[in-house]
Structure 1
């Protein structure tokens, strides 16, 4: 408290011209998110905070920065993201997102928590203060995501969640799927109450809910949702007081459809926020980060100031942090982006807390992170694991099976029932119909279970693709045309202690090692991007036409996204929250 008091005295003295500033940013056009106006001015910064704008006294400062007449806008924010899905450590991720103007990330770290529990989560954010962007934690609410239906490496109960919610790092309770709320499961309701007691909001994941169920969801206190796919879903959520996070990730491309509806209906936007949720590093480098969401909204016809507010003050207000971030105003952190134009979101300079952290597309200082050794040994396959574990045994000549069918650019799926041939007592795939095997292999050394089902949408004509990133349990997920290649892919992941892998005819064609919790690479962002691009090209050789096949693979088994999921325990009826048979009947 004493240090904070001294800092505040310094800031107030600087604000009144009695003490030199640390930085004076001059000659800028300031975007004011409170009045939707732009005006010329200068910014006085002390202790990383803006303390005065256009003061009437002569400014003395240790450093001056000429803004060259550019537009000064608040640093961009991502309202909901899983850092691990970028495949990068936070340190490596900085070089990808900060030059695009992102200075704040609201991070649901459920991925690493599912792998390594509370200690893994703490390791992910241990370097927060030294990063050129700030992390606020959306405390994972569902670790595991589908208790009783999957095997995970870690568990966060009410006690652990409450501990995290009490920290200054925490901004909210992380996304809570409908099954936990609609069935009034007391463990999860207790986590909601803990968030309320700590003054934190609760993030939602209201996928596939009709009006009546949305009412129940809202009544429980879930305050946002990033799962709207069509405008009508977004509108319903807003009507019930649930803020809509408009997502644009690698496989979930929702922005265009939603923003067209918002613009066509002239819908108020103060309760609309931008997020990426899950976006691979190669897409960030190619398109941008939250800057891409802003730019695309502008290109669709939204006013630039309105689009920028959806990435700044709207988010800050939602998380009850607008007294610290989200605006260029006294008392707020000096997180700034300087643009040459409000219509073209191409950051020239980026400041975090009054420090210049990126200039003309480049991070000023590259960072490296050090992670505990236990995170580098999380893949432990059963000693009894063998190719025969991928068999789907059946008697007769044909089997009617349930098939997971992919939707383009979405993580939701739909079910069909298909007849497949039985040979040698095993159900066969059908490459011509694009019906392939999908398997999830338990990778924590706990039980050795293997769940097997069928999927349509990958279009492989040979080989297998595999990943140790498999939401949210993060067991090994594999899609393939034959059991031997699927087995080899799993062993290659074990050898690398996590990886994306492509295999054909008994040969590993490509590997991206992900040894940190089986989720992230220790390499710099550019190198990871290059390896992903190469691996995606290899996947195309196997026949797939998916733009991000490994991102799709990482979501296809998710046991909380309708209609079907797959875990190491078997095929999951998502809405029924139970394991169901893959085979319906045989003939």
Structure 2
């Protein structure tokens, strides 16, 4: 047996005992050949590495994430992820699918990456129905059947349409769930199960959904796990209360850490490793945090070849200088060194080979001042309003009184912000209007085509001048994020590929998004994740009131909610 790499004297994490042990590890043909006390130096290894004082843990595995949320392509993301110790991901590419359909998915599948990237079939494109949102692409039964035959597909991505799942047995999402279970009965099925409990939770499970990654509370974690559902904790669910519930009831076997969405600027500082460290800071024992970032996610996705440091498994591992700060010294993939501390992210020599039309996909009207006039007769209007929360992506449905002047709704004087969503695929030219509370306190606007999940063009603003400036700039860029304040451009991140990603280095995109985020704060936007909060104002599967190009909708009932409830 030829030993390609011998790692000596490392503090090796034992996934089966959940503890560190001083051992040697031998690698052959990209796999661990031996892990134990025997020194195999007499086997003439090609390379010997003395890891005295270092901690050796399996490569991290992120089983629920969206590459597009990092605003980049798979090949560019790969280098950033590896630098953070992530060696395997399962990506649901439903964002690029909403823009380009199967062509978008195939473009991602075709990219070569050093990281192992597997995919979950986007099950909800659109996230609801064509009557509720306009998308550039659709994934229906025919596309699902085709994707199920790909060796890169190992799961069905998050099923999101609440009404379609719980009360419409013939809905497209139910057909997709049934098809998957009949043809691939062992395929993991991911869910999007926010604020769902009791009989509705049972309906989700009866439909075949076995995991949830949405925002949790201690009560929801206990109910879902005790009902048989696997829990995937993303950053907004990692808090002392939730960790205490998991630890108190020893729910680690039914839990994994995931990222779901890591914005480009956050990716500069960490990926799944950041969530692992946060879990420890919130009270989770380190050994358990490692376990649910490596071994339980591997089991959840059916991986038989990774997730631990043991003979016969892939030699994907991290060497750490210290455990407290989780300082990464080196990252190995298949026994090959891929990153060392201090190195920049490594990118492919050539840019991703997307089709030319991917760079010219935003096709909608250039707004004029009169487009922002909402006509109404009377003295004042009782309006349905989207109220933004300061934490997470959920919203509240509230009602506020807005004055009417000269036959127009005077939204600019209401203390609220105008929100509009424009269909951007050149299909119907639809524009919808709403009002938002807790958005902007200053005169300005925010515009983006990175609007989950349909990615139409969305603008929120407190002045017509700024709304027009921001929308015009997004059109000029062919997609991206733009912030204006008092008639000046204050933040800009171009996303020209489908209006949602770019082929620029992460360092460039990350810095641009940092500036966008600060510009949003300067306008008074308050949230623990400003960019994600804003982008999900248009997500009609995330409670409670959201807006698409087709109008405002109650997420639970899918009832269309009018902007003006009553004229007084």
TMscore range, shorter length = over 0.9
Out of 63, 81, 89, the position equivalent to 1:79 is: 63
Find the counterpart in structure 1 of residue 13 from structure 2.
31
Identify the match of residue 230 of structure 2 among 237, 240, 243.
Answer: 243
Which residue of the partner structure matches residue 48 of structure 1? 30
Confirm or deny that 1:215 pairs with 2:198: no
RMSD, aligned CA: 2.0
Q: Pick the aligned partner of 1:227 from 198, 214, 218.
A: 214
Distance (whole Å) between structure 2 residues aligned to residue 317 and residue 547 of structure 1: 32
Determine if contact 1:402/1:417 at 8 Å carries over to the other structure.
yes
Please state whether the residue corresponding to 1:488 is helix, strand or coil: helix
Asked if 1:117 corresponds to 2:101, the answer is yes
1:209 Cα deviation from its structure 2 partner: 1.1
**TM-aligned CA deviation for residue 62 of structure 1:** 2.7
Match of 1:141 in 2: 123
Residue of structure 2 in register with 1:564 after alignment: 545
Matched residues, number: 559
Report deviation, 1:584: 0.5
Offset, 1:35: 2.0
Deviation at 1:243, TM superposition (A): 0.6
Which of 188, 191, 201 is equivalent to 1:201?
A: 188
Q: Of 256, 262, 273, which residue of structure 2 is paired with 1:279?
A: 262
Q: Counterpart in 2 of 1:295?
A: 277
Question: Structure 1 residues 141 and 465 mapped into 2: Cα distance closer, same or farther (>3 Å)?
Answer: same
Whole-Å Cα distance in 2 between the matches of residues 254 and 341 of structure 1? 22
SS in 2 for 1:311: helix
Moved more, 226-235 or 306-315: 226-235
Deviation for aligned residue 1:430: 5.7
Secondary structure in 1 matching 2:328: coil
Task: Tell me how far 1:529 sits from its aligned partner.
Answer: 1.5
Q: 1:513 corresponds to which residue?
A: 494
Aligned match for 2:155, one of 160, 163, 172: 172
Q: Does the 8 Å CA contact 1:228/1:244 hold for their aligned counterparts?
A: no
1:161 deviates by: 1.4
| Matches of 1:537 and 1:71, distance apart in 2 | 37
Confirm or deny: 8 A CA contact 2:421 2:456 kept in the other structure.
Answer: yes
Matches within 5 A, 1:97-496: 97-128=81-112, 130-131=113-114, 133-147=115-129, 148-177=131-160, 178-183=162-167, 184-196=169-181, 197-198=183-184, 199-248=186-235, 252=236, 254-263=238-247, 265-286=248-269, 288-321=270-303, 323-363=304-344, 365-367=346-348, 368-370=350-352, 371-382=354-365, 385-429=367-411, 433=415, 435-496=416-477
Give runs of aligned pairs for residues 88-103 of structure 1, distance below 5 A: 88-103=72-87
Secondary structure, counterpart of 1:349 in structure 2: strand
2:525 corresponds to 1:539: no
Cα shift readout 1:460-506 (whole Å, capped 9, x = no counterpart):
32111011100110001111012342233222111111110012344
Determine the C-alpha separation between the residues in 2 that align with 1:275 and 1:487: 38
SS at match of 2:376: coil
CA distance in structure 1 between the aligned counterparts of 2:488 and 2:390, rounded to whole angstroms: 29
CA distance in 2, matches of 1:113, 1:255: 32
User: 1:238-280 CA deviation, whole Å, 9 max, x = no partner?
Assistant: 01111111111xxx454444213323x3433111111111121
Q: Which moved more, 1:546-555 or 1:239-248?
A: 546-555
What's the TM-score, normalizing by structure 1?
0.91
Structure 1 residue runs without a partner (length 5+): 1-13, 15-19
